[in-house]
Amino acid sequence: MQKIDYKQELKQLYQPSARQPVVIDVPPLNYLMLDGQGDPNNSPAYQAAVEALFGLSYTLKFMVKKGPLAMDYGVMPLEGLWWAEDMSAFTTADKSNWQWTMLMMQPDFITPAMLTEAMHKQQGKLAPSILEKVRFESFSEGLCAQIMHIGPFSAEGPTIERLHRFIADSGHQLTGKHHEIYLSDIRRADPAKWKTIIRQPMG
């Protein structure tokens, strides 16, 4: 059985250079999404959201592999949209006011009915209060700039500034929400080698 690698098929979106920002046009893609607020380092809601997205994504993967489609594919990485009502909160140590939408891209053959079945399979493993918040939506970012950050999350500042400067120098403005894509397993990898895509919509 052939295994589809969407990170490779969509490499222009998921394999940017760490040397310099690049401009991309992100098409509409389907995602599982969960919204929340709070410091990702100690928020139970954040941890529950991540657990739910991974649990449902892997359930869908095995449903497809064992079902009529009989296809295999790699589960896509966790992604996050980040913002604050007061954007100065992004420059302070207090992350309790951070707003976030965590999301994971799904293949185009995944349907709402399949997600409903996956949720049924996850009952007893995931809290109903979390499952009822999961959304399955098409999300289109359009014109963006992005760059690969290598290192711990706490050291992203200069990379983000570089990306924003690139956008300004190209005659564009920041639009949309700060977007991060987490390519490394932070439970196992050395923080100095963590790979995070920093993406910023622009107009």
pLDDT tens-digit profile of 3-52? 999 999 999 999 999 999 999 999 999 999 999 999 898 889 999 999 99
Judge whether 2 lies within some domain.
Answer: no
| pLDDT band per the 50, 70, 90 thresholds, residue 188 | confident
Judge whether 61 lies within some domain.
Answer: yes
- pLDDT at position 144 is 98
Q: Coil, strand or helix: which one is 124?
A: coil
Judge whether 181 lies within some domain.
Answer: yes
- pLDDT at position 84 is 83
Q: Which residue range is the domain that position 160 belongs to?
A: 16-201
Nearest to 118, CA basis, from 175, 39, 61, 69: 61
Contact 78, 84 (CB under 8 A): no
Judge whether 79 lies within some domain.
Answer: yes
- pLDDT at position 1 is 82
Q: Which amino acid is at 186?
A: I
Judge whether 178 lies within some domain.
Answer: yes
**Cα(186)–Cα(82) distance, rounded to whole angstroms?**
19
User: How many domains in the chain?
Assistant: 1
Judge whether 87 lies within some domain.
Answer: yes
The alpha helices in the chain, defined as continuous H runs, are: 6-9, 11-14, 44-66, 112-122, 128-131, 157-169
The pLDDT tens digits of the residues spanning 126-173 come to: 999 999 999 999 999 999 999 999 999 989 999 999 999 999 999 999
Q: Mean pLDDT in the chain?
A: 94
Q: What is the CATH number of the domain that holds 192?
A: 3.20.80.10
Q: Which amino acid is at 131?
A: L
Would the pTM count as exceeding 0.85?
A: yes
Q: Coil, strand or helix: which one is 169?
A: helix
Judge whether 5 lies within some domain.
Answer: no
CA 12 from chain center: how many Å? Answer: 15
**Cα(36)–Cα(45) distance, rounded to whole angstroms?**
7
